[in-house]
A and B are shown apart, each in its own frame.
Chain A
C-alpha cells in the first residue's frame, strides 16, 4: 500500500521544530530541528530511544507542552480552505482550542492518567462531544454511546455510568480512543498507546485503530519504541536520535534497506521471532548523551562505528535525499558536504 502522493497537501507539516528548556545547569535542547509531514489517511511512525524528543515533538503539535518549553519553527495544519501555523496561534485562543480535540487529538501510554477518577467514563467522553459537536443533550449522549460501541466496549449503556477504576487497562485504552475519535479528528497522535498493555490486548487495540483509521480516513502519528508494532502499523517511519530525525523512509525501506548507522543498529538489535537465530545480538555501544551543551557534530558520533574522523566530529550532517522517499542525515551518504 503506497500512500505517497505528491499532489495532495499534507494534513500536517512540521518544519524545523526546535524546543529549548531552560534548566539550572543550562539550556536543554531536546528537539533540534525536526521536520516531517503526514498525508491524509497515512500513518507515520516516530521511533527512537527514550528521551530523544518524541513526546515533546508530538505535544508541540497540540500545544500542550510545559510553559517553560521554548518552541521554534513552524507547524502547518491544513484546514479545508487554508493553512494555519499552530505555533503562531495564541495560547488558549479560540482557534487553537478548535484544533485541539476537534481536528487533532491524542491518546497516551497511560490511559489511567487521561481520565479524571471522580467522573464517569461516559460523562468524560460526552464532555468532548458536547463541546465540539452538539450541545443537544440527547443527541450528544447518542453520539457518545455510538462511539463507545464502535471501539468495542460491550454493554456501552452500563459502562457509560462506570468510573475509570472499574475499567481494565485494555478497556480504558478503548475508552480513551473513543474520547479521542468522537470528533472525527483529521489527525490522531498516538504516543505509545499500547506499551502498557499485554500482547493480546495490544493486538486488539492495534486492529481497532487500523479499522477506525480506514473508516474515518484519518492520519496517525504513531509514537513507539517497539519495532514490531511499527512494522505492523505504519506506512512511513521517521527515526529520531538526540532531537533530530536521522532517517525517514517507507516502512519497508527502513526494515529492508536501512542506511543510517543508528537505524541499522536499531533494526539489527531486535531479535525476529521465528528465526531461531542464536547468534549474538547486534548492539550499539554506549548510551544517548544528554541534550545539554551539545557540541557541533553528528549527534550519533560517539556511538557510531562508521564515523569519519575529522568530519563527523566537526560538522553536523544535513538531510540527503537518497530517492524521492528516502532521506538520511549522515555524512556517509553526503560526500559533497564533507568538506564544509
Chain B
C-alpha cells in the first residue's frame, strides 16, 4: 500500500453560539495514503464539509491533529505548525467547493481568479511567470486560454467547476479536498469533470478527499470510503469491501437506498425509521441507536469506538463482529479484480 501522507487524529469541532453548542465533529480519525482517493459519504448535516474545512484549516478544529508527511519526508502537525512552516506547506492542501456559481468572484476575470492564490503565496513572482503558470494549468483543466480574460458569469456550470479546479491546482498542491465538486452539474458534465479529476491525479500525483452524498460517484472514484453519521466516522474501508460487505448498520441502510441506474436490478430496501437527530442534542451511547434495527441495551449506554475488524476495515459498532449485513451485490469478476475475495485466506493488505 502507498505511504501514508495524512493522518487525521481525533478531530473534534464544536460550533458555539449564545444558546447552543453544536458538536459537528467528534473524534474523527483515519489515514490517507499518498495518491489515494478517499470518499466521504453521509447524510446532510453529518459534518462532511466541516471535516474538509478543518483539514485545510479554512476553520480551526476545536481539538485534534492532522499529521502531514511533507515532500521531503518530515511529519508535521498541519493544525499546529509554526507560522514560518505554515507559509511553506499551506499550499500543499487545497479545497474545491461545492457550488461553482457562488464560489467565484463575479468581478474578477478568470485569469485573476486562477492567479490569486499564486500572488498570495509568491508575492515576488513576475507577471510573465504568473501568466505562464495560469496558462499551463488552464490547459491541463481543459479551459481554452481565450477564456482567461472573461468573467465567470459567462461560463456554464462545468466550465466554472474547471475554473475552481484550476485555481486549486495552480499552486501544485499535494492533497485536494473536493467538497461536492460535481454535485451541482448535469450527469454528462459530471462525467467530464470526474474524468478530468482522475487524469490530473495521475499526472500530478495528487491525493483526494472526495466528499459527496452520491454513493455511485463515490464508488467510482474512491479507493477507500469513510461513512459519517452525526459527526462521527462510523465505518472506513476499501471501497469494494465497504460496498459489498458493510459492517455498520447505518452503511447497510444507506447502501440499500441507492437508486441503481438499471431497471432490472431490484434492490431490497431497508428503510430507516426516523430522521437524522439534531447534533445539538445527540442521543446517548451509539449515536445511531434510535434508528438502528440491531440495537441492544449496550448500544443505548456506551458509545462504540472505531476499530479494525480485519484487513483494514474499520467499524464503530458494538455488534460488528456478529452481524451479517447486506451490501451491494458485485459480480465475482469485479470482486476478484478488486482483490477482495482473497482477503479471508491470505491477507494482502499491509498491517501497521
Contacts and interface: CB of A to CB of B under 8 A. Distances in A.
Interface of A: 49-50, 168-171, 198-204, 206-207, 225-232, 251-252, 255-256, 265-267, 269-278, 280-285, 287-288
A110 B273 CA distance: 22
28 contacts: A50-B157, A50-B186, A169-B44, A170-B275, A171-B275, A199-B254, A200-B254, A200-B257, A203-B271, A229-B259, A232-B260, A251-B263, A265-B188, A266-B188, A269-B187, A269-B188, A269-B190, A272-B260, A272-B261, A273-B328, A274-B328, A276-B219, A276-B330, A276-B337, A276-B338, A277-B334, A283-B191, A284-B188
A287 B334 contact: no
B237 interface: no
A26 to B, nearest CB: 17
B237 to A, nearest CB: 14
A203 B330 contact: no
Contact of A198 (B44, B262, B263): B44
B242 to A, nearest CB: 12
A228 B258 contact: yes
Interface stretch (B13-21, B210-218, B297-305): B210-218
Contacts of A169: 44
Given A50-B186, A207-B271, A287-B156, A269 B256 contact: no
Interface core residue of B198, B239, B260, B328 (most chain A CB under 10 Å):
B260
Contact of B264 (A200, A201, A252, A269): A252
Nearest to B276: A198
A271 B216 contact: yes
Contact of A269 (B191, B219, B254): B191
B261 A255 contact: yes
Nearest to B188: A284
B314 to A, nearest CB: 20
Nearest to B185: A50
Nearest to B278: A168
Given A269-B190, A283-B195, A231 B256 contact: no
Contacts of B152: none
B272 interface: yes
Interface in B159-211: 159, 186-192, 194-195, 198
Given A50-B186, A271-B220, A283-B195, A203 B257 contact: yes
A273 B191 contact: no
Contacts of A283: 188-189, 191-192, 195
B191 A281 contact: yes
B250 to A, nearest CB: 9
Nearest to A227: B261
B158 interface: yes
A280 B243 CA distance: 20
Given A50-B157, A272-B216, A231 B259 contact: yes
A231 B191 contact: no
B315 interface: no
A26 B21 CA distance: 53
Contacts of B43: 198-200
A281 B328 contact: no
